[in-house]
Structure 1
Amino acid sequence: MTTTLDQLTQKEPREAAPIISLQNVAFQYPGAESMALHNVHLTVQPGEFIAIAGTNGSGKSTLCKCLNGLIPNYYVGDLSGSVEIAGLQAANETVSSLSRKVAYVFQDFENQLVRPTVFDEASFAPLNYGYADYRERGLRALAMLGIEHLKEQWIWQLSGGQKHLTALAGALSLDPEIIIVDEPVAQLDPFHARLIYDKLNMLNKQYGKTIIVIEHHTEFIADYCHKVVLMDSGTIRWIKPVQEALSSIDELAARHILPPQVTLAVRDAEAAMMVEQPDNRLYPITIDEAVRYFESRSATPAILTDAPCDSVEGNAETSPSQKPLVAFSNVSYGYKTITREIHPVIRNMTITFHEGDRIALVGNNGAGKSTLLKLISGIRRPNAGLLEVCGHLTKQASPELLSDFVSYIYQNPEEMFIEDSIRKDVEYFLKARGNADYRPFVDEIIERLRLTPLQDRDGRLLSGGQQRRATLAIGLAMRPTVMLLDEPTASLDAASRREMTDMLAQLHDHVKTTIIATHDMQLVAEWANRVIVMHQGQVALDTDQRSLFRHVAVLEQAGLIAPQITLLSQKLGLEPPCLSVAEFTERFTGGQISSSNKSQWSKEGFTIGST
Structure 2
Amino acid sequence: MNSLIDIKNVSFTYPNEKEPILKDVHLTVEKGEFLAVIGGNGSGKSTLCKLLNGLIPHYYSGDFEGEAVINGLNSATSTVAELSEHVGYVYQDFENQIVQARVLEDAAFAPLHFGYSDYLERARNALTIVGLQDYEDEFVWQLSGGQKHLLALAGCLALNPEIIVLDEPIAQLDPYHAKQMYEILRKLHCEHNKTIIVIEHHTEFIAEYCSEVLLLDKGKIVWKKSVKEALTAVSDLTVRNIFPPQVTQAANALKLETLPITLREACDTFAKFKRHELSSSNGVSSSSISKPVAEFKEVDFSYQTVERSYKKILENINISFYQGEKVAIVGNNGAGKSTLLRLLTGFRKPQSGQVYVKGKLTAKQSPEKLADIVTYIYQNPEQMFIEDSVRKDVEFYLKARNRKGYEETVDYILELFHLTELQDKDSRLMSGGQQRRASLAIGAAMDPAVILLDEPTANLDIATRKQLIQFIDKLADRTELVLMATHDMQLVSEWATRVVVMNNGQIIYDGNKDGLFSNPMLMRRAGIIPPQIVELSNQLNITPAKYTIDSFIELFQEEPGWIMQKT
TM-score by length of 2: 0.92
2:12 is aligned, of 27, 32, 35, to: 27
What corresponds to 1:238 in structure 2? 223
Please list, as runs of the form range in 1=range in 2, the aligned pairs for 1:430-449 lying within 5 A after superposition: 430-434=398-402, 435-437=406-408, 440-441=411-412, 443-444=414-415, 447=418
CA distance in 1, matches of 2:393, 2:9: 36
1:269: Cα distance to partner? 2.6
Deviations 1:283-335 (A, max 9, x none): 1100111111122x242xxx4554325656xx2x34332x3221111111110
Contact 2:413-2:444 at 8 Å conserved across structures: no
Partner Cα separation in structure 2 for residue 206 and residue 484 of structure 1: 44
Once the two structures are superposed, residues 550-585 of structure 1 have per-residue CA deviations (whole angstroms, 9 ceiling, x without a partner) of 222211100111111111112122222222211221
Partner of 2:425: 456
1:553 aligned residue? 521
Q: CA deviation at 1:51?
A: 0.7
- Cα contact 1:304–1:574 (8 A) shared by 2: no
The residue identity in structure 1 corresponding to 2:107 is A
CA distance in 2, matches of 1:43, 1:60: 15
Q: Equivalent residue for 2:263?
A: 287
Judged with a 3 Å threshold, the aligned counterparts in structure 2 of structure 1 residues 446 and 570 are, in CA distance, closer, same or farther, namely: closer
Q: 1:319 to 1:119 in 2, by over 3 A?
A: same
Question: How far does the alpha carbon of each residue in 1:461-509 deviate from its partner, in whole angstroms, 9 at most, with x for none?
Answer: 6665555455444444444332221111122223322221212223444
* 1:170 aligned onto 2:155: yes
Distance change in 2, residues 1:441/1:42 (3 Å): farther
Match of 2:448 in 1: 480
Q: Contact 1:69–1:98 (CA<8 Å) still a contact in 2?
A: yes
Contact kept in structure 2, 1:307 and 1:587, CA below 8 Å: no
Deviations along 1:133-189, one digit per CA (max 9) or x if unpaired, are 111110111122232122222222222222211110011111111111111111111
Partner of 2:550: 582
Give the structure 1 partner of residue 533 of structure 2.
Answer: 565
Question: How many angstroms apart in 2 are the aligned matches of 1:42 and 1:476?
Answer: 45
Structure 2 unaligned runs (5+)?
563-567
TM-score under structure 1 length normalisation: 0.85
Distance 1:257 1:395, change over 3 A: same
Aligned partners of 1:361 and 1:534 also within 8 Å: yes
Tell me the CA shift for residue 380 of structure 1: 1.8
The CA deviation at 1:245 is 0.9
Matched residue SS, 1:187: coil
Partner of 1:308: 280
Amino acid at match of 1:291: C
Alignment-derived partner of residue 482 in structure 2: 514
Aligned partner of 2:199 among 205, 214, 237 = 214
Residues 125-136 of structure 1 mapped to structure 2, 5 A cutoff? 125-136=110-121
CA contact (8 A) 1:359 1:530 kept: yes
Aligned to 2:33: 48
Closer, same or farther in 2 for the Cα pair 1:436/1:566, shift >3 Å?
A: closer
Q: Is 2:509 the counterpart of 1:541? A: yes
Measured against aligned partners, the alpha-carbon deviations of 1:237-284 in whole angstroms (never above 9, x if no partner) come to 2221111111111221121111111111212233xxxx6x5xxxx511
Within the candidate set 345, 359, 377, 2:327 is matched to: 359
State the Cα deviation string for residues 191-225 of structure 1 (Å, max 9, x = none): 11011001011111111211111111100000011
Q: State the partner residue of 1:494.
A: 462
The within-5 A match list for 1:93-242 is: 93-242=78-227
| Aligned match for 2:289, one of 316, 320, 330 | 320
Partners of 1:564 and 1:29 lie apart in 2 by 39
TM-fit CA distance, 1:349: 0.8
The alpha carbon displacement at 1:30 in A equals: 3.5
Q: What SS does the corresponding residue of 1:42 show, helix, strand or coil?
A: strand
- CA change 1:119–1:468 in 2 (3 A) is farther
Deviation at 1:385, TM superposition (A): 1.3
Task: Give the secondary structure class of the aligned counterpart of 2:41.
Answer: coil
Residue identity (%): 49
Question: What's the C-alpha RMSD, in Å, of the aligned pairs?
Answer: 2.6
Count of matched residue positions in the alignment of Structure 1 and Structure 2: 560
Question: Taking structure 1 as reference, are residues 590 and 342 closer, same or farther at Cα in structure 2, changes over 3 Å only?
Answer: farther
SS in 1 for 2:267: helix
1:245-260 map, 5 Å: 245-260=230-245
Per the alignment, do residues 336 and 122 of structure 1 end up closer, same or farther by CA in structure 2, a change over 3 Å counting? same
Question: In the TM superposition, what whole-angstrom CA distance separates every residue of 1:34-67 from its partner, at most 9, and x where no partner exists?
Answer: 4333232222112211111122222222222232
**Candidates 387, 401, 409, aligned match of 2:377:** 409
- Going from structure 1 to structure 2, the CA distance change for 1:507 and 1:195 (only over 3 Å counts) comes to closer
* Cα pair distance change 1:403/1:233, threshold 3 Å: farther
Aligned twin of 2:565:
none
Give distance in 1, aligned partners of 2:82 and 2:223: 30
* Alpha carbons of structure 1 residues 331 and 399: separation in structure 2 relative to 1, 3 Å: same
Gaps of 5+ in 1: 1-14, 595-611
Alpha-carbon distance in 1 for matches of 2:434, 2:476:
24
**In 2, Cα distance between the equivalents of 1:414 and 1:74?**
24
In 1: Cα distance, 2:273 partner to 2:484 partner:
41
Q: Is the 8 A contact 2:440 2:475 kept in 1?
A: no
Name the aligned partner's letter for residue 553 of structure 1. Answer: M
Q: Does the 8 Å contact 1:269/1:593 carry over to 2?
A: no
Query: What secondary structure does 2:221 align onto?
Result: strand
Which deviates more, 547-556 or 414-423? 414-423
Structure 1 range deviating more: 135-144 or 410-419: 410-419
Matching residue's letter, 1:160: G
Aligned partners of 2:423 and 2:96: how far apart in 1? 25
User: What secondary structure is seen at the aligned counterpart in 1 of 2:335?
Assistant: coil
578-587 vs 192-201, greater mean Cα deviation: 578-587
Question: What's 1:609 paired with?
Answer: none
Alpha-carbon spacing, 1:356–1:374, altered in 2? closer, same or farther (3 Å): same
Task: Report the Cα offset of residue 430 of structure 1.
Answer: 4.2
- In terms of mean alpha carbon deviation, does 196-205 or 144-153 score higher? 144-153
CA change 1:77–1:472 in 2 (3 A) is farther
Q: Cα distance 1:421–1:119, how it changes in 2: closer, same or farther (>3 A)?
A: farther
Is the CA contact 1:586–1:593 (under 8 Å) kept in the aligned structure 2? no
Aligned equivalents of 1:35, 1:480: Cα separation in 2: 43
What secondary structure does 1:480 align onto?
coil
In terms of mean alpha carbon deviation, does 506-515 or 105-114 score higher? 506-515
Query: After alignment, is 88-97 or 118-127 more displaced?
Result: 88-97
Amino acid paired to 1:447: H
Measure, in 1, the Cα distance between the counterparts of 2:85 and 2:433. Answer: 29
Equivalence for 1:604: none
